Structure 1
Amino acid sequence: MRYLLFVILFLPFAGLAQRQVAITMDDAPVMALPEYYTAGQRKAVSEKLLQQINALRTPVSVFIVGDNCIAPDNQLLLKKWVDNPLITLGSHTLHHPNCADLSIDSFKMEVMINDYIIRAVAKDKPVPYFRFPYNAMGKDSMAQAERTGYLKEKGYTAVPFTIESNDYLFERYYQDALRAKDNRKAKAIGEAYIRYTLFSFDYFEKLAREIFGRDIPQVYLCHVNQLNADHYTALVKALQQRGYRCVSLQQAMQDNVYNTPLYDHSPYGFSWLFRWIPDAAIRKTHLRNSPESDKELAAFK
């Protein structure tokens, strides 16, 4: 009888307990927002994020933009990310260009110079991953194969994402509210960001189950910015309440879904869950119905 009661109580939550998410942050060591961030603010954002990552023991992969590291104080910030054992490193090019607009030689130069800048700080720490800025891998399948082939030669794994929440858009509204000393509005924007992120998770969880028939380890894309520095703990705890466990990018990508072929080779940077849909008409329908942050942000314009 006790066993039966346990099964009845546990079964509704059994699927939730298996959910996994790898958190990835672009534009390390801090987003390039010179109109908002002073050197002191960059330091505060970086340190606050790392403190929460340490406190929550969440593995995070960061993708480094070389341009963001040239200033000496930014090199010191990068060193703190490098030295943290919870952090896995990735490259995000030198200047953060749309790689679909670059020749292959220009793309290689972006990667090679960024290698040099990262290695100057990272030393022997591995840098196994690469993420395309704007998730634009190339203008067509041939260009994308050429670029990913080069990355493979350099020892990089090109990293996808399954969920994002346009945090960089929320960040600009958030910064405007902070500069206006409108704390009530800033609080509302932060709450809207968490709400929209959870809504996005709900949408892409359902889409993953439709495509693969099960929950998959999700890869969440966000950025190193003040919005996340101020709301990282709230976001992680909200995901934990949904049954998620934060795992490393390596662990998430061991799932066989990440070997699924791409059926869409357009230059646009949408979720790999869309790119994994073989039927173009079904893919377009899902894209039309996907979450739009504009509705959440309209209240703050």
Structure 2
Amino acid sequence: MSRLVLILFGVLLLSSNVHSQNSVAITIDDVPNTRLFQKDGYQSRFLQKLDSLQIPVAIFINEHLVYKGDSLSKNFRLLSQWAEKELVTLGNHSYSHQRYSDTDFTEYSTEIDKGEKMSKSLAKKYNKTLKYFRFPYNDLGKDSLQHHQGRSLLKVKGYKIAPFTIESSDWMYNRVYKEFLDQGEFEKAREIGEAYVSKTLEYFDFFEDFARKEYGRTVKHIYLCHDNALNTDYLPLLIQKLKERDYAFISMEEAMTDSIYQQEDRYYKKWGVSWFYRWQKTQKERMTYMRQEPSTKQIMELYESITSQK
């Protein structure tokens, strides 16, 4: 075998190994959780645990949260602590978490601008960029016109839309988890936390299989979760389980180098579906996969039971 053939074989083998490596960027919405911060004595246990994990994360900031609670100065210091971490990428999540489909163009432009005032200053202070925007509820607009207007607006403002491939309704698990904690039913809370981790792993399996079927390879996933009590206590366990499955934890920037994120978004509704579905050509194709997703019926029933009583 010639030297050239051996070199080409080695390059192909290396490329194959890179594509076969499971990888994911962890992204966290609704930062900073100032209510939980105050409840925990003005300390962020979530940030402390992420420090110990030493993995890159991207955070999407709602700046109105800084004005909640008893101490603006302490809340701003919390946001600063997030921003100064070397492994944290900063993103804009709008000022007050409004649905884009419920607003007009001018109003939403203001939401974006107000949502970057502190963040842009902190990004500059810590030599970072602020170039990703994630729509609250992943609501990109009620129709194709609003979708295109939103994309054009972000382009003018220098933002890229932050997509995701996997999420597991952690906000719903969190609501039930907090209810059990508040009622002192700690064993039930533990069961919910463990169920969240288990269900999330099911979603990883489902979308890994989706990627192999649709693209013939693994992809650089982006996982969406939230700054909440549930992830404070159970995201470390999820990370551990993913490490046991040989996942590499990558930055948002690295994930976005995957060519799948260059595809056209063909989904023009307001619901926050995975980008895998947005890239599919027809609603029929989407529904085929959606019907096969892991069931969240059990947690949904618990969630609806609790919220209906409040």
| Fold similarity call, TM over 0.5 | yes
SS at match of 1:237: helix
Question: Offset of 1:179 from its aligned partner?
Answer: 0.9
Equivalent pairs: percent with the same residue?
Answer: 35
- Structure-1 residue corresponding to 2:111: 110
- What secondary structure sits across from 2:116 in the alignment? helix
Q: Does 1:40 align with 2:39?
A: yes
Equivalent-residue separation in structure 1 for 2:244 and 2:18 (angstroms):
13
Partner SS state of residue 75, structure 1: helix
* TM-score (structure 1 length as normaliser): 0.88
Asked if residue 178 in structure 1 is aligned to residue 186 in structure 2, the reply is no
Which residue of structure 1 aligns with residue 88 of structure 2?
87
Alignment RMSD, CA only?
2.0
The residue matched to 2:106 in structure 1 has which SS? helix
Q: 2:297 aligns with which of 284, 288, 294?
A: 294
Question: Where do 1:265-280 residues align within 5 Å?
Answer: 265-280=268-283
CA–CA separation in structure 2 for the residues paired with 1:207 and 1:57: 29
Runs of 5+ consecutive residues of structure 1 not aligned to the other structure: 1-13
Deviation of the 1:155 alpha carbon: 1.4
SS in 1 for 2:90: strand
The answer for the alignment partner of 2:230 in structure 1 is 227
1:134 corresponds to: 137
- Residue 132 of structure 1 and its aligned partner are, at CA, apart by 0.2
Q: Which residue of 1 aligns with 2:64?
A: 67
Q: Is the 8 A contact 1:21 1:219 kept in 2?
A: yes
AA at the equivalent of 1:26: D
Structure 2 match to 1:250: 253
Preserved contact between residue 190 and residue 231 of structure 1 (Cα < 8 Å): yes
Contact preservation (8 Å) 2:25, 2:221: yes
Provide closer, same or farther for how the CA distance between residues 58 and 103 of structure 1 changes in structure 2, counting only shifts above 3 A. Answer: same
Q: Is structure 2 residue 149 aligned with structure 1 residue 149?
A: no
Aligned length: 282
Contact kept? 1:129, 1:157, Cα under 8 Å: yes
Q: Distance in 1 between matches of 2:129 and 2:225?
A: 22
Give yes or no for contact 2:90–2:119 (8 Å, CA) kept in 1: no
Please report the TM-score for the alignment, with normalisation by the length of structure 2. Answer: 0.85
Aligned to 1:4: none
| Structure 1 residue 173: Cα displacement | 0.8
Residues 201-247 of structure 1, C-alpha deviation per residue, up to 9 Å, x if partnerless? 11111111121111101100000111111112111011111221100
Contact preservation (8 Å) 2:20, 2:217: no
Q: Which runs of 5+ in 2 are unaligned?
A: 1-16, 306-310
Contact 1:63 1:89 in 2 (8 A): yes
Query: 1:127 Cα shift?
Result: 1.1
**Per the alignment, in what secondary structure is the counterpart of residue 161 of structure 1?**
coil
Residue 52 of structure 2, aligned match among 30, 51, 55: 55
- Counterpart amino acid of 1:116? K
Mapped contact 2:20–2:218 kept (Cα < 8 A): no
CA distance in 1, matches of 2:104, 2:302: 41
